[in-house]
Amino acid sequence: MGNRVIAILGNGIAGDQAAVAAKRTAPDARVIMLSKEPYPLYSACVLADYISGEIPRSTVFLRSVEDYAKAGVELLLSKNVVSWSPENRSLRFDNKELSYDQLILATGSRPFIPPIPGVKKDGVFALKTFADAEGLRTAKGRSAVVVGAGPVGMEAAFAFRRMGWSVAVVELMDRVLPRMLDAPLAGSVKKQFEGMGILVFLGERVEEISGGARVEAVRTNQRILPADVVVLVIGMRPRIELAGQGGLTLGPAGGIQTDAHMGAGLPGVWACGDCAESRDLISGANGLYMLWNNARLQGHTAGANAAGSGKRYPGSLNVTTVKLFDRAVASAGAPAADFPEGETRMLHRKSLDGELWLVLKEERLVGVQGLVNLDRLGGLTAMMLKGLNIRETILKGPKPSEGRDMWPLHTLEKDLIRLLNGR
């Protein structure tokens, strides 16, 4: 009998970590990782910096093909897996069949492309893969329109502005970074953007991308914006076609439902990364938390468990940072806008190095948003994770002089007490 086969579908960070953990846990197993993409692991998080020329190609790539060979992982690139048979425990690609004993689905996500007339024209891009970034880096022109003011859209706009292009951002919602920020901080960030010469149009709908074979302009419900390049960054959707084929259950947000061990509901089948739903550590809600670090830890858990370990996935953390200026816009937990009206209260603090908003539900911190030096968010995120009662923490906790590492909590104490007392 041959060695057991652990097959991993996808070589993003989730697949990569699954492969490494599986091989480490079961050195005798054959660990085979397949991907549609032609390259080994790279970081999507730095693609905007690659587009603007801030960093070279070599910095984007995190692994080489040789790294996998050294780790004993068989890497099959440029393989599009077209079908999955859970009954036969096999995957199909290139008219070949791969039989496995354990399967890890790490199929990630794809950009949502809205059904707007003109989206297929030359000069219209998404921003998800290294190939997208390469296309944007080498695009010719002087004006870019970014559709969507989420983190990826804002970073893309920033990159093009750095390259000296004229840039406009169009967003359907009433604020920038709407999943991260509430209106007040979003207003400050918008002003900073405008200060850099980036036009920001909120509450506008893109109705058409016009031109000949190439894009020439973007028509919204309010104006026409000239464009040599259009970047569509409206959001990501989990890639769940194969999971659906295999009859796996999907969760409320449309990703693969997983248990506390990243099991996907069939014996020997695991799911991790952007394609998988998980439990949020702060709110306890199941959903899609499509972030690098969540994918990394889920991959590690799924890989170890496929190889026979019994690891629990602790849960996902919704921490997003967008590097735009000398500081970063960062959020952890949820914005107040995610809660029913009147359920949360917000506290604002401006300091020399930035601006911070706390979202409080009853006496617990449920969200932090800042335009700050990043180190300062650490203590507050720890408070959210521990679900600490703020009043008790303030009244019973050690004094700042006793080394409490909870900045800026001690400087906020009086304000917090006042807020909790309804004054």
Ligand X SMILES: Cc1cc2nc3c(=O)[nH]c(=O)nc-3n(C[C@H](O)[C@H](O)[C@H](O)COP(=O)(O)OP(=O)(O)OC[C@H]3O[C@@H](n4cnc5c(N)ncnc54)[C@H](O)[C@@H]3O)c2cc1C
* Residue from 3, 59, 64, 80 in contact with ligand X (CB under 6 A): 80
Considering the complex, what minimum distance in angstroms separates the CB of residue 295 from ligand X? 4
Per rule CB under 6 A, count of chain residues that contact ligand X: 33
* 11 sits near ligand X (criterion: CB under 6 A): yes
- Footprint of ligand X on residues 33-52 (CB under 6 A)? 34-37, 44-45, 47
Radius of gyration of the chain (CA): 23
- Footprint of ligand X on residues 132-161 (CB under 6 A)? 152
351: its two tokens: 């300091």
Considering the complex, what minimum distance in angstroms separates the CB of residue 56 from ligand X? 17
Considering the complex, what minimum distance in angstroms separates the CB of residue 84 from ligand X? 9
* Residue from 201, 292, 325, 339 in contact with ligand X (CB under 6 A): 292
CA–CA distance, 256 with 103 (Å, rounded to integer): 14
* 239 sits near ligand X (criterion: CB under 6 A): yes
CA–CA distance, 132 with 127 (Å, rounded to integer): 5
Considering the complex, what minimum distance in angstroms separates the CB of residue 352 from ligand X? 26
* 333 sits near ligand X (criterion: CB under 6 A): no
* Long-range Cβ contacts of 246-255 (<8 Å, 24+ apart): 246/84, 246/85, 246/86, 247/86, 248/105, 250/277, 251/277, 251/286, 251/287, 252/277, 252/286, 252/287, 253/277, 253/286, 253/287, 253/288, 254/288, 255/287, 255/288
Q: Give the amino acid at 253.
A: A
Q: Which stretch binds ligand X (CB under 6 A): 3-11, 58-66, 164-172, 176-184?
A: 3-11
CA–CA distance, 29 with 226 (Å, rounded to integer): 56
Separation in Å, CA 273 to CA 77, 175, 344: 19, 28, 30
Considering the complex, what minimum distance in angstroms separates the CB of residue 147 from ligand X? 14
Quick one: 13 or 198, whose CB is closer to ligand X? 13
Which residues are at the interface with ligand X (CB under 6 A)? Answer: 9-15, 34-37, 44-45, 47, 79-81, 106-109, 127-128, 152, 239, 242, 273-274, 290-293, 295
